[in-house]
Structure 1
Amino acid sequence: MRAKNLGPHYADYYYIGGQLPKGVKPTLRWGGPKGTKCEWAGRWFWCWGPLALEKGKTDWLNFQLTLKSGTKGTATARLGVISFDVDQGMENMSEAELKRLGIKHHYDLKTVKTTIVSPPRNPGRGWTPPPPVKDYNPPASHEESNTKKDT
């Protein structure tokens, strides 16, 4: 995922992440710029970088999750950015505290859907391996070179 600051000011308090689909294993692999930290609670995960995002600059986050084996149907996630308009000195407050104080925030989330496809349990006609080869002799170890011969 990529997040670009299109606003008139730098962004010093923003998170990249979102809501994961139901039926995921409790392991999330992620990668981002050096110093990025992540937090995962319930189905929500959020990551934040160590630096403010200047106007016109882009931040990124790669992540990988694994669905549980019994998950069926459609996996739906909401991914994007949450940003807060904070005053100077409020950058160490938690997200819950900022919401309690009524600080203006923006959710820019997009819904992502994928259909889970699994092979049929009894495909009918299965794969048949080829018959074994009789009198098989493995090749001898020879060296060959690809150099021109003088003629």
Structure 2
Amino acid sequence: MRNSLPKAASLALLAGALLVPAVPAAAAPVAAKTAVTAAEPYSAFDVKVKAPKTARAGGKISYTIVATNKGPHYADAWFVGGQFPKDIDLRKIYYRTNIKGTECALEGRAFYCLLPQVLEKGESVTVIFDAKLKKSATGTQKATLGVVSYNVDQGMENMSKEELDRLGIPEYGFSKTVRTKVVR
């Protein structure tokens, strides 16, 4: 599909995404000796995430995510973001990207952005998240960030998340975990 998902459907997809591959809900039972093979993603991503090794409590952490579509097809239903550390002030997460129309949403500790652009095989996108640590932050802060993509076929762009889930449309997570030590 070449058209991006509508805003409502896209943000509804975002609510359930957690950077872990999903198993299709409508999968048929498989005999004990048969190998289970999940559908391959329409768009697999190579993800690189950079974060500082140390940060001061109350200071800023910048996470840079570079996502490259490895194909085999173009990507048009995908999100960038992930699970932010426990001591990040969730009201103080900002993003930077050159893609206009980007919309972000927060669900628990997960912060995802829909980038309304078709990403052809071999193309990359960079998103920088600037987050503020709480003044009470201690220890090592762990973030799991990357891309979540969906195998959405042509003609499905107006379906709700509930309908996509009912049909068993698979989602795929491509993530990296980074750690930042809080120093005083």
User: What TM-score comes out, normalization by structure 1 length?
Assistant: 0.72
What is the CA–CA distance in structure 2 between the aligned matches of 1:97 and 1:21, rounded to whole Å? 32
Residue 60, structure 1, aligned to residue 126, structure 2:
yes
The residue number in structure 1 matching 2:68 is: 4
After TM superposition, give the deviation of residue 103 of structure 1 in Å.
Answer: 0.9
Alpha-carbon separation, structure 2, partners of 1:117 and 1:96: 44
Report how many aligned residue pairs link the two structures: 118
CA–CA distance in structure 2, aligned partners of residues 63 and 96 of structure 1: 29
2:139 and 2:119 map into 1 onto residues whose CA distance is: 38
**Which segments of 5 or more consecutive residues in structure 1 lack a partner in the other structure?**
119-151
Identity over the aligned pairs, expressed in percent?
Answer: 47
Q: Distance in 2 between matches of 1:94 and 1:10?
A: 22
Match of 1:107 in 2: 173
Question: What amino acid is the match of 1:76?
Answer: K
Residues 77-107 of structure 1: CA deviation (Å, up to 9, x unaligned): 0000000111112234455653443211111
Going by fraction, where is strand more abundant, 1 or 2?
2
Residue 142 of structure 2 is aligned to residue 76 of structure 1: yes
Aligned match of 1:116: 182
**Larger RCO (alpha carbons 8 Å, 6+ apart):** 2
RMSD: 1.6
Taking structure 2 as the reference length, the TM-score comes to 0.60
Q: Which has the higher helix share?
A: 2
Query: Which runs of 5 or more residues in structure 2 are unaligned?
Result: 1-64
